[in-house]
Amino acid sequence: MGAGGRLDFIEPLLPTLVEKPPEGGEWIHEVKFDGYRSQIVFDAGKVRIFTMNGHDWTSKYRDLAAAAKALDAESAIIDGEIVVLNEAGLSDFAALRKAITQRQHDLYFVAFDLLHLNGHDLRDMPLEDRREILHGLIEPDSHIQFSEALPGDAKAIFHLVDQAGLEGMVSKRRDSKYRSGRSTAWLKIKAFTESEFELLGVERENGKPAFALMAERGTGRYVGSAFITLNREMRERLWTRVQDHAGTAPKGMKRPATQWVKPGLIGRVKHLRGEEDLRHASLQDFREE
C-alpha cells in the first residue's frame, strides 16, 4: 500500500527460464507475449500504469489508462503485458516501440493476473482463483484483454507455439500464490529462431569455448556473442577467413582475446526468439556478404 492507504506498484513475480515445459495437470500454460511487462494500478478513480521496474509510464499509455477506468471495479492491481499485434495476430516488439509514440490505439494490455481487488489483497489465493476473478472483470471488446490458458498437453502446446512463430510459453502452477521476485512457480519456455547478423570477430581464450561476436545488420549495433558449434572443418575455415581479413575493434569495444574482422562476413545464428540481444545463441553457419 502507498501513502494514505492507496494502492501502489508491487514488484512482479518473475518466471524462471527452463528448456522444456513441465508435464502434469497441476500447471496451466499461456502464450508468452513479446511486449513490455506492465502493471495497472487502479484506485480512487485514478489509473497508473507501471513498467516492470516500477516506473510510472501512464502518460505513454493514455488510451490503455482510459480503458482501465471502464473496468467494473473500485480498485485493482492487474499484472500483464503491453503488446501490439501484427497482421498475423502475433505480438510484434518492433511495432510496439513505434505505437507508443505514434499509434496509441494499436496498444493492448494482455492481463494474466490479479493482485488486488476492491480493497482485498488476493496474492495468497491460488492462481486459478485469481484468474477466474480477473476473467470476470474484463469486457470482450476492450483494449484490455484476458490471457487465455491454452488447452492440451504441454509438449503439444509448445510445438504449436513454436510453429506459429510465437516467442514461447509460460507455465504456472494452478495453486501458486503470488510472490514478488524470481520464482519456480512460474516457468517460461522460449522458442528458438535463426537470424543473420554481421560477424565482428572471434573471441578465443585457452581452455574456453570460442565465441563469435555479432552485430545487427545495417546498424552495426553489438547484440552479443554466439557459441561456435560448427564442425571442425567449418571452424577452421572460419578462423582462416577471420585471420585473412583481420580488422580493428569497433569503437568502444575492448576485448583483448578477440580477433576482429573486416565487414563482409555474415553469420547465421540460432538464438532465443523475442530477445532484444542474443541469448543462448550458437553460430550455425557463415557466408560472405
Catalytic site residue from 32, 172, 190, 270: 32
Alpha helices (H) in the chain, listed in sequence order: 62-69, 93-102, 127-137, 154-163, 232-244
Cβ partners under 8 Å of residue 271, min gap 6: 192, 193, 194, 195, 226, 278, 279, 280, 281, 282
To the query of whether residue 32 is one of the catalytic residues in this protein, the response is yes
**187, HSE (Cβ side, Cα atoms, 13 Å):** 17
End-to-end CA distance of the chain: give it in Å, rounded. 57
Q: Are 31 and 169 in contact (CB under 8 A)?
A: yes
The number of residues making up the chain comes to 289
Whose grid coordinates read 585471420?
Answer: 243
Short-list 53, 46, 83, 50, CA closest to 68 = 46
Beta strands 282-288; 192-203: pairing state: unpaired
Residue whose C-alpha cell reads 492507496 in the numeric block: 6
Is the distance from CB of 188 to CB of 256 less than 8 angstroms?
no
The Cα–Cα gap between 184 and 280 comes to 20
Which active-site residues does the annotation give?
32
